[in-house]
């Protein structure tokens, strides 16, 4: 039996949902125009006033926001409420130059947690469940979001955060966790460790997992489901829109339902910005219609996906998004962390290397690997192997400080990095995710 | 007193080493001694040639990453224990040997050993004090 957190909303007729979205959008645009000078300026430049936005049909008239705007407006430029009304910030991976800080009022937190609660409920969670949250806690939205959602559902919540896998498994066994929330690669790792420690799925009580924050495949889903003896559900979100819970999977496991009472989704052509019809593959754009403190209108996620309104067997009428099929920029998601090649380039220059490098990403045993080949220069070269290896380690440490994840650095002779049409190929992503 | 050794950064891939030796041969450089240190990813080819500065320039021009390092060459008796005495003498002087390699001279019965140490001056002093024969560069370049 399918469970709903809020059946009225989740199964609302399209007509009623559109009416709700229309009302909320009109009010939100007024709120933003009056309180966010940065966005007001964008609207003024485009010649749009709040009066031009009468329903979701007028959404296309509004200007887009992108990560570049968020950086330019950092930290307070897109804030729509006085700081005294805000109770929390969360931030993206915290990587220099690309940091995004999002603000929340208590109301925003409640809505966000409610979205996560819908995801947990759709995965079968009730107040009788024990929910083990192994997403990172802190600035990252994963831990706080699912933690709050778990509280809202009434689960007994285990705020484990990530890491210390043997302890995770001990808690899982001793406290009989039934729901696991983490990144899919960590779930795979927990499964592996469980078996290495000599346990089987008979020793644990897990029934479902809610996994997100990084791309994963159907194959990986099946592996995790088998190794942990669970049903694995996908969840989607980004700090800019609140965090996880913007969209969540139901028992059908064929895409994620978007919480349309809070977010209007559009698919656009990433090159022209033109809105594409339902079923087209394009860039996902979100408009927050209920957020108070940090309400982004037409935020370009850079995720490429497809939206569908085909009838879902779960009974929900909320539009479904496919798993992201790729990115419209050069961002990579490695071990759940957003990585821009430009960040690696910055470190190389700081450390006195020429920015000739190649990033190789792969997935070995369900865990992402990051190898970076960097071209050696005369002044870094030494006749001793240990010196060169030390330089590789130093560079890896500097990159780790920047990205938050450890790469393997390989110094290679100049001009050995493959170039195509004179331009170096910066990224080789060998992960087969589609 | 010190010998100029050329070190070349080479990828650990088929054909890379021969590309270097071919370039040296085409330019008439004579290799006196060589050694290779390799790891999974890369190798360092170390060579002693007759004209190190010119060879280094030629390699650089061809796009190789190279460096010149001063090393010590000593002549020792080509008998059991000959090398051991030299290494012990350095050890006693608290000098560490980063690496070394040897070759046999054509003119006498001596074995020539190239030593890369952490302190050339102190190593030379210690070796001289213990009556090891330190080779002049001309002796090595023009073997």
pLDDT in tens, A317-361: 999 999 888 777 778 888 888 888 878 887 888 888 877 789 999
Question: In this predicted structure, what is the pLDDT of residue B14?
Answer: 86
Q: Do B99 and A384 touch (CB under 8 A)?
A: yes
The CATH architecture of the domain made up of A337-429 is 2-Layer Sandwich (3.30)
Residue that terminates a domain, selected from B36, B69, B102? B69
CA distances from B13 to A79, A254, A388, B5, B16 (A): 55, 46, 18, 23, 6
Interface residue A377 vs chain B (CB under 8 A): yes
* pLDDT score at A350: 81
Burial code (b: 16+ CB inside 10 Å, e: under 16) for A400-416 equals eebbbbebebbbbbbeb
Contacting A residues, span 146-185, partner chain B, CB-CB under 8 Å: none
| Identity of the residue in A378, A382, A412 whose CB atom sits nearest the CB atom of B11 | A412
Same fold, A7-329 and A337-429: no
CB A262 within 8 A of CB A247: no
Total CB pairs under 8 A between chain A and B: 51
Closest-CA distance of chain B to residue A315, Å: 55
Opening angle at CA A74, ends A71 and A77, nearest 5: 115
Most confident residue range from A52-66, A360-374, B10-24: A52-66
Tens digits of per-residue pLDDT, A142-200? 999 999 999 999 999 999 998 899 999 999 999 999 999 999 888 988 998 999 899 99
Which residues from B are below 8 Å from A413, CB to CB? 9-11, 42, 64-65
Instruction: Write down which residue in B47, B69, B91 finishes a domain.
Output: B69
Count of CB atoms within 10 A of residue A165's CB? 17
Peptide bond into A220 cis (omega under 30): no
Residues B84 and B126 in one domain: yes
What's the predicted TM-score (pTM) here?
0.69
Structural domain of B24: 3-69
Mean pLDDT score, A95-122? 90
**Facing B42 at nearest CB: one of A411, A414, A415:** A411
What pLDDT was estimated at residue A419?
A: 60
Of A377, A383, A410, the CB nearest to B44: A383
Where chain B has pLDDT below 70, the residues are 143
Among candidate residues A129, A118, A335, A144, the one with its CA nearest the CA of residue A239: A144
Structure tokens at A137: 């806690």
Same domain, B28 and B42: yes
pLDDT at A97 over 70: no
Structure confidence at residue B143 (pLDDT): 65
Strands A408-412, B31-38: parallel, antiparallel or unpaired by DSSP? unpaired
Residues of A with Cβ-Cβ distance to B99 under 8 angstroms: 384
Q: How many domains would you assign to chain B?
A: 2
A257: Cβ–Cβ under 8 A, 6 or more apart, which residues? Answer: A10, A122, A247, A248, A249, A250, A312, A314, A316, A318, A319, A320
Q: How far is B101 from chain A (nearest CA, A)?
A: 14
pLDDT attached to residue A343: 82
Q: How confident is the model at residue A95 (pLDDT cuts 50, 70, 90)?
A: very low
Q: Domain boundaries in chain A?
A: 7-329, 337-429
**Considering the domain A7-329, what is its CATH architecture?**
3-Layer(aba) Sandwich (3.40)
Q: Are residues B137 and B77 in the same domain?
A: yes
Domain end, chosen from B12, B47, B69, is at B69
A406 interfaces chain B, CB cutoff of 8 Å: no
The C-alpha angle A225, A265, A7, rounded to 5 degrees, equals 65
Contact residues, chain A, for B63 at CB < 8 Å: 414-415
Rg (CA), chain B: 16
Q: Kindly state whether A410 is in contact with chain B, defined as any CB-CB distance less than 8 angstroms.
A: yes
* Nearest CA distance, A373 vs chain B (angstrom): 10
B7 contacts A383? CB cut-off 8 A: yes
Domain match, B8 and B58 both: yes
- Under an 8 A CB cutoff, do A413 and B11 touch? yes
Residues B97 and B137 in one domain: yes
Cα separation, A153 vs A131, whole angstroms = 10
Percent of chain A exceeding pLDDT 70 equals: 97
Q: Tell me the shortest Cα–Cα distance from A368 to chain B, in angstroms.
A: 21
Contact flag B7-A381 (C-beta cutoff 8 Å): yes
CATH code of B74's domain: 3.30.2130.10
């Amino acid at each position: 039996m399918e469970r709903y957190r809020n059946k009225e909303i989740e199964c609302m007729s399209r007509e009623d949902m559109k009416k709700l979205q229309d009302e909320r959008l009109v009010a939100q645009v007024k709120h933003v125009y009056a309180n966010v000078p940065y966005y007001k300026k964008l609207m003024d430049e485009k010649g749009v006033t709040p009066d031009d936005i009468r329903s979701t049909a007028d959404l296309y008239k509004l200007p887009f926001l992108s990560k570049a705007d968020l950086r330019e407006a950092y930290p307070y430029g897109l804030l729509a409420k006085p700081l005294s009304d805000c109770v929390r910030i969360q931030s993206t991976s915290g990587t220099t130059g690309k940091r995004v800080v999002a603000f929340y009022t208590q109301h925003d937190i409640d809505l966000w947690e409610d979205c996560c609660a819908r995801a947990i409920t759709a995965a079968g969670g009730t107040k009788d469940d024990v929910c083990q949250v192994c997403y990172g806690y802190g600035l990252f939205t994963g831990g706080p979001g699912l933690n709050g959602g778990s509280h809202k559902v009434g689960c007994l919540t285990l705020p484990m955060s990530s890491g210390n896998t043997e302890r995770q498994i001990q808690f899982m066994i001793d406290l009989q966790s039934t729901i696991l929330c983490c990144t899919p690669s960590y779930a795979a790792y927990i499964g592996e460790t469980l078996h290495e420690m000599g346990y089987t799925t008979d020793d644990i009580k897990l029934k479902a997992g809610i996994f997100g924050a990084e791309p994963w495949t159907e194959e990986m889903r099946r592996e995790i489901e088998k190794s942990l003896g669970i049903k694995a559900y996908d969840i989607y979100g980004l700090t800019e829109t609140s965090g996880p819970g913007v969209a969540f999977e139901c028992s059908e496991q064929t895409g994620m339902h978007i919480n349309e009472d809070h977010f209007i989704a559009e698919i656009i052509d990433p090159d022209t910005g033109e809105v594409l019809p339902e079923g087209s593959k394009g860039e996902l754009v979100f408009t927050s219609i209920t957020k108070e403190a940090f309400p982004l209108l037409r935020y370009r996620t850079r995720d490429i996906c497809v939206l569908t309104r085909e009838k879902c067997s779960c009974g929900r009428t909320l539009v479904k998004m496919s798993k992201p099929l790729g990115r419209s920029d050069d961002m990579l998601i490695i071990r759940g962390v957003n990585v821009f090649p430009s960040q690696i380039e910055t470190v190389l220059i700081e450390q006195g290397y020429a920015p000739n490098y190649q990033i190789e990403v792969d997935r070995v045993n369900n865990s992402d690997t990051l190898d970076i080949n960097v071209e050696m220069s005369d002044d870094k070269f030494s006749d001793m192997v240990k010196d060169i290896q030390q330089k590789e380690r130093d560079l890896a440490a500097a990159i780790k400080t920047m990205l938050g994840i450890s790469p393997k650095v390989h110094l290679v002779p100049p001009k050995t990095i493959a170039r195509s049409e004179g331009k170096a190929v910066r990224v080789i992503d060998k992960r087969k995710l589609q | 007193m010190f010998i100029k050794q050329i070190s070349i950064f080479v990828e650990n891939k088929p054909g890379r080493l021969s590309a270097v030796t071919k370039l040296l041969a085409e330019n008439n450089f004579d290799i006196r001694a060589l050694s290779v240190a390799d790891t999974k990813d890369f190798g360092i080819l170390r060579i002693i040639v007759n004209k190190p500065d010119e060879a280094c320039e030629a390699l650089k021009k061809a796009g190789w990453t190279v460096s010149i390092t001063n090393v010590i060459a000593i002549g020792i008796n080509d008998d059991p224990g000959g090398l051991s005495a030299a290494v012990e003498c350095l050890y006693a002087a608290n000098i560490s040997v980063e690496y070394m390699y040897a070759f046999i001279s054509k003119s006498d019965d001596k074995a020539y050993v190239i030593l890369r140490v952490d302190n050339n001056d102190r190593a030379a002093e210690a070796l001289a004090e213990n009556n090891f024969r330190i080779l002049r560069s001309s002796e090595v370049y023009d073997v």
